[in-house]
Amino acid sequence: MNGEFREAVLSQPENLRAARESFAAAIAEVDLRPLRGGTIVFSGIGASGHALIPTVLALRAAGQRAFAISPGELRDARATALGDAFVLVSQSGASAETVQALAHLDGAPVVAISAHGESPLAEAAGAWLPLGPLADNTQVASVSYTATLQALGMLCDALLGRDSGWRALADLAADVLERGASTVPGLAERFAALVAIDAVGGGAAQASAGEAALLVREGLRLPAVGMETREYLHGPLEAVADGFGCLVFGRERERALAGELAAFGAVVALLGDEAAPPPPRVHAIELPRVAELAAPILQILPVQLLAEEVARLHGTRIGTLRRHQPDTKVR
């Protein structure tokens, strides 16, 4: 029933490998000087918006001013006062809000990241950088999300003059998917009975929390929220009880939080790269340790498998949106 979505999920190692090569070739031809030294504003919506977080945090940690701002905020006549250069991200290159933001950035250096060089976003920007050769074959992102994370991460590394291990990432992704195929079905049986799901993560894993919640809402049509760890501790966890599921991404504080959530009655999965035993009643999904910039790519893979398996148990199909909106894409 979810063959198309599962096929897309399993194709991600191949796409990441090919995308790394095409992106490396493309970025070598782009003048990155306008992005260096000043303030970079990144913008995207939906899954693309979540994917901005690791790169923005990594640039700030290295001393470069960087911010993630919604396309709606950029549709302000004074948008160019927010930054010196802009990176706009849209898998399709046709997200209406992101394309419309370009009209308010006249004269500013703009780099577009999208799958197609002939898309409205790519054609209007000053420079274009590609995603991978494979496209999502459903309306729920999988391939395009991990490709966007990798593209942004490689752009970040190019600006900082470093390498976060992208060459090894495709093989690590294949290993995570292979292990998940045998371990996720048992967890899915527990998640299939839930009425709401929270996703929580700190640092770069904020991206995983946001994208996991979006996947649950779009794919499983369940109430879901994604939140940064410290924000979650300040009240939102009060609702957690029997019938809740929690996807927790991280290490020390997140590990402790996972144990607390399980004690409240939630079904909890902890996704991280620590080999220590999980707290009682917490299902641990151990991931390879990679650079923080690349970690969200591996973090989302078991969640995609989990969503596909829960949908199968529900007898529903991931990929077709019931409530399509006519004004979210431009021609």
pLDDT digits (tens, 9 = 90+) for 60-98: 999 999 999 999 999 877 888 899 999 999 998 889 999
> What single letter denotes the amino acid at residue 131?
L
320 belongs to a structural domain: no
Q: Are residues 139 and 201 in the same domain?
A: no
3-class state of residue 42 by DSSP? strand
Domain final residue pick, 133, 162, 191: 162
pLDDT tens per residue across all 331 residues of the chain: 568 999 999 999 999 999 999 999 999 999 999 999 899 999 999 999 999 999 999 999 999 999 999 999 998 778 888 999 999 999 988 899 999 998 899 889 999 999 988 999 999 999 999 998 888 878 899 999 999 999 999 999 999 999 999 999 999 999 999 999 999 999 999 999 999 999 999 999 999 999 999 999 999 999 999 999 999 999 999 999 999 999 999 999 999 999 999 999 999 999 999 888 899 999 999 999 999 999 999 999 999 999 999 999 999 999 877 787 777 788 6
pLDDT attached to residue 86: 97
pLDDT value of position 37: 87
Roughly what angle, to the nearest 10 degrees, separates helices 295-314 and 47-61? 160
The range of the structural domain enclosing residue 184 comes to: 167-314
pLDDT at 1: 56
* 47 inside domain: yes
CA-CA distances (angstroms) from residue 68 to 60, 73, 161? 11, 10, 21
Q: Which of 139, 84, 151 is nearest to 113 (CA)?
A: 151
Give the C-alpha separation, 249 to 284, whole Å.
10
- Rounded to the nearest 5°, which phi and psi values hold at 267? -85, 120
Torsion of CA 123, 138, 198, 209, to 10 degrees: -40
In 3D, which of 124, 199, 153 has the Cα closest to residue 16? Answer: 153
CA 240, distance to chain mean position in Å, is: 24
- Considering the domain boundaries, does residue 323 fall inside one? no
Question: Beta strands 244-249 and 224-228: pairing type?
Answer: unpaired
Alpha-carbon distance of 256 to 195, in angstroms, equals: 23
Give yes or no: residues 132 and 116 share one domain. Answer: yes
Examine the domain organization and report whether 156 and 172 are in the same domain. Answer: no
Residue 236 and residue 251 in contact, taking contact as beta carbons nearer than 8 Å: no
CA distance 128 to 98: 14
Report yes or no: 99 and 45 within 8 Å, Cβ to Cβ.
no
Domain end, chosen from 140, 162, 184, is at: 162
Q: Are residues 138 and 179 in the same domain?
A: no
| Interatomic CA distance for residues 99 and 116, integer angstroms | 14
Q: For the whole prediction, is pTM greater than 0.85?
A: yes
DSSP helix/strand/coil, 33? helix
Q: Indicate whether 131 and 214 sit together in one domain.
A: no
134 contacts 117 by C-beta, under 8 angstroms: no
The total of structural domains in the chain comes to 2
The reply to whether 203 and 156 lie within a common domain is no
Question: Can you name the residues that pair with 226 across neighbouring β-strands?
Answer: 199
DSSP H helical segments within the chain, as ranges?
3-10, 12-27, 47-61, 71-74, 96-101, 120-124, 143-160, 166-191, 206-215, 229-233, 252-263, 295-314
